[in-house]
């Protein structure tokens, strides 16, 4: 598939892609976008930073969630604050022509009350670092019990940084039947352990 209109994305997303000047889908986008749009399945994708992986999971997630509902339906975990903010900004750009779609970043070193206030307004997607996510869950400032799609971005990095326990604990607050999409630059044993523990027959 070498054009974006062949991937199954709705017009508002194609317009945003056009505005951003993306001409052809990258390899991970061409493989992941149609699969994630079509199937309710767990997926493991090997992709480095700079390959367009944010769009590979971002567009399918944005298209699949219900923007009429204020419920949190998508959760993206990423290892660092910088990446968390970058993903949030990208998703906002992708969704610029979709009304009522709110993406909120949850990361350490900034006001948790401010983040919680934004979540309360109705955030369908949360992009979070594991430590702050744990904190905001413990304080009951978010509800992730209805999450349908969960992305573990840079899973290898998150494990290197010692977030295994946090990830396990965060995921225990999400439904068992959600879809989990794991993106990682490398596939060390620890990442396969995560895939085995948290995913069902991933593609």
Q: Which residues bind ligand AMP (CB under 6 A)?
A: 22, 25-26, 29, 49-55, 90
**Of residues 38, 6, 39, 43, the one with CA closest to residue 25:** 6
For the CB of residue 93, give the shortest distance to ligand AMP in the complex, in Å.
Answer: 8
Nearer to ligand AMP, 94 or 174 (CB): 94
Nearer to ligand AMP, 31 or 53 (CB): 53
35 to 122, 125, 198: CA distances (angstroms): 28, 20, 19
Residue found by looking up tokens 């194609």 in the block: 14
For the CB of residue 120, give the shortest distance to ligand AMP in the complex, in Å.
Answer: 29
Nearer to ligand AMP, 5 or 143 (CB): 5
Nearer to ligand AMP, 51 or 80 (CB): 51
For the CB of residue 194, give the shortest distance to ligand AMP in the complex, in Å.
Answer: 21
For the CB of residue 95, give the shortest distance to ligand AMP in the complex, in Å.
Answer: 14
Check if the beta carbon of residue 163 is closer than 8 Å to that of residue 194.
no
140-179: b or e for each residue (b if 16 or more CB lie within 10 Å)? ebbebeebbbbbbbbbbbbbeeebeebbeebbebbeeebb
Instruction: Give the contacts of 172 (CB within 8 A, at least 6 positions apart).
Output: none
C-alpha torsion 19→48→167→88, nearest 10: -20
For the CB of residue 90, give the shortest distance to ligand AMP in the complex, in Å.
Answer: 6
Cα separation, 36 vs 33, whole angstroms: 5
For the CB of residue 32, give the shortest distance to ligand AMP in the complex, in Å.
Answer: 11
Nearer to ligand AMP, 6 or 69 (CB): 6
């Amino acid at each position: 598939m070498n054009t974006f209109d062949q991937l199954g994305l709705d017009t508002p997303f194609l317009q945003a892609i056009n505005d951003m000047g993306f001409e052809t889908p990258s390899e991970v986008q061409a493989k992941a976008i149609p699969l994630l749009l079509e199937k309710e399945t767990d997926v493991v994708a090997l992709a480095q930073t700079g390959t367009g992986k944010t769009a590979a999971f971002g567009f399918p997630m944005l298209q699949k969630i219900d923007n009429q509902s204020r419920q949190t339906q998508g959760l993206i975990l990423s290892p660092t604050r910088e990446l968390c903010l970058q993903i949030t900004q990208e998703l906002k750009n992708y969704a610029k022509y979709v009304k009522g779609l709110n993406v909120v970043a949850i990361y350490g070193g900034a006001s948790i009350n401010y983040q919680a206030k934004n979540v309360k307004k109705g955030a369908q997607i949360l992009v979070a670092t594991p430590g702050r996510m744990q904190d905001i869950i413990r304080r009951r400032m978010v509800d992730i019990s209805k999450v349908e799609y969960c992305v573990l971005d840079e899973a290898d990095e998150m494990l290197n940084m010692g977030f295994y326990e946090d990830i396990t604990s965060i995921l225990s607050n999400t439904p068992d039947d959600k879809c989990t999409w794991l993106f990682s630059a490398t596939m060390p044993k620890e990442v396969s352990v995560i895939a085995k523990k948290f995913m069902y027959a991933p593609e």
